[in-house]
Chains A and B, each alone.
Chain A
């Protein structure tokens, strides 16, 4: 099992009131599966994604990712988790504006001590794979939204993660480009066996997934195969 959540809860302190974003989620994602988390704003789907990515810790419950329990882990373990096991794709791309596409993709390897030559070689290879072989030296501002998201996907892949976490990856794109990005993610999931966890409220994007889980008010309210969901 790639991801196993057992009664995972996350409560945020906002001033003096506690806001429950997740209220005890039980969920399993198999290795190599493409799962979409859908639900209205505030349903807790992004919160869950961030927990799986080690950007945040659950306040209750157990969260196992690739055999490692994250809720009780130290910062060092979470850093290692973000380096080796997961790759993020964000709605707003989150590229570093000063760096070229090639440098942006290579950044994660900087922190694990890979020499520059090797970093850039691997980044170029990945940019080729996502169809940007001719855009290596362009900066984010010189790229279209779809191209920026491809750069972000290449960056998510460079650490050879087992899980890709995509948070509304089509949110800032028109539907045609969004479709291309989803097709690319689907292809990577199929070809490389990467587990894919997608958070979206775009039903078209969710339709690419093997399985869809619906959240509302921090709880799972429905789950099923994509074609069975309304």
Chain B
């Protein structure tokens, strides 16, 4: 029997009961759709994470002060730090051979009320950061620099403000560049009613929809010293975070074990990535199980449809055997027919899975934009190997489901089949 004839005959048989074939296909569609969506999400997110983390460098690690557990009595209180990130530690890290650089950061407290005044006008401002642009945040959209520098100068005295802030103060968009180097005052207002002005210059302007002021570490320190009324703030509280860039991934592992032994709280991006990957595997396994169950049910549906077809065509099988069809050829026709059901479900499921991925991707980005956490990225990636694997898998499910009915058809005794009405 020619291959072309096998497919033509099987396809002809399949289209005899279009509605039944279509309904049988639905199960495969659901299964393949789930699996394609799941795998494309896994591939997409892992690629995004790898890109995002990779651009920062996996040899980067983050150091946080060890704190006491928050007590039940005061769950919102600031936990006491038992292991401080001191300037001495930063210096020690910077002195190490295997460290390229160690950068310390200070976080301003959330309740800190800050206004910015320029030529007598005042507007509310949010301290921005703490990270400079040279340490990118995964998934975040980098802000565009409109004028001046991207980051506040590390020595202090200069800030990078958002354009919306200046526009709110009455500046014209065209004049923004002229404001570089302009003196402004940042005023802190303590709850106890006192206030303190800090004189700084505008070093850069970025494009942002809300009022931000990016501050350098020395300026932050000065503000914290005033806020807590503690000239020795660093000695008492230490830094909030130290970012260490090791020379290599191996060095990073060495440094992590050294710092952990010293009692510091260390996070490396590799640890985060590994953790995220583990999370993804769990999600993938769950979705994969749903797809697998759907496909199992679908294969039972296909087997059922094919058994029905064998009953309906019993007499026809007898006729075909009488005119020279071999048992193997009858089996082949039924197996191919079942495989075609699987393949049809695979094609439709892959297509719908791809469309669903596009839709969900758009939806996720849209929701994040609404929540003012703009991100960019493709979280669903349907690659060629995924398409081919999905089609092959769907066909295989059909094929396996068709084996038993096909064997029954092949085994029918020609005489009994001919007499069947």
Contact = CB atoms under 8 A, between A and B. Distances in A.
9 contacts: A50-B415, A55-B321, A88-B323, A90-B418, A94-B318, A94-B319, A98-B12, A111-B324, A111-B329
A24 interface: no
Contact of A82 (B323, B413, B418): B323
A197 to B, nearest CB: 15
Given A76-B326, A79-B326, A115-B2, A107 B320 contact: yes
A94 B415 CA distance: 13
A162 B98 CA distance: 92
Given A83-B324, A94-B418, A96-B319, A111 B1 contact: yes
A56 B414 CA distance: 8
B323 A113 contact: no
Contact of B321 (A76, A82, A90, A110): A82
Interface string A83-102: 10000101000101010000
A76 to B, nearest CB: 7
B415 A112 contact: no
A38 B415 CA distance: 21
Contacts of B318: 94
Interface of B: 1-2, 4-5, 9, 12, 16, 315-316, 318-327, 329, 413-415, 418
Contacts of A137: none
Contacts of B5: 110, 113, 116
A94 B413 CA distance: 16
Contacts of A83: 323-324
Interface of A: 50, 53, 55-56, 75-76, 79, 82-83, 88, 90, 94, 96, 98, 107-108, 110-113, 115-116, 155, 159
Contacts of B1: 110-113
Contacts, number: 61
Nearest to B410: A75
Interface centre among A53, A110, A155 (most CB of B within 10 A): A110
Contacts of B16: 98
Contact of A112 (B4, B320, B321, B324): B324
A97 B322 CA distance: 16
Interface centre among B2, B16, B319 (most CB of A within 10 A): B319
Given A98-B16, A110-B9, A113-B1, A82 B324 contact: yes
Contact of A111 (B4, B326, B414, B415): B326
A169 to B, nearest CB: 14
A135 B414 CA distance: 29
A111 B325 contact: yes
A53 B322 CA distance: 8
Contact of A55 (B316, B329, B414): B414
A55 B326 contact: no
B420 to A, nearest CB: 12
Contacts of A94: 315, 318-319, 322, 418
Contact of B324 (A50, A90, A98, A159): A159
A110 B325 CA distance: 9
Nearest to B9: A110
B414 to A, nearest CB: 5
Given A55-B415, A111-B324, A96 B2 contact: no
Given A79-B327, A113-B1, 8 more contacts: A55-B415, A75-B326, A79-B326, A94-B315, A94-B318, A98-B16, A107-B323, A116-B4
A78 to B, nearest CB: 9
A200 to B, nearest CB: 18
Contacts of B12: 98
A55 B324 contact: no
A94 B319 CA distance: 7
B325 to A, nearest CB: 5
Contacts of A110: 1, 5, 9
Contacts of B321: 55, 79, 82
Nearest 5 CB-CB pairings of A with B: A83-B324, A108-B323, A79-B326, A55-B414, A111-B325
B355 to A, nearest CB: 36
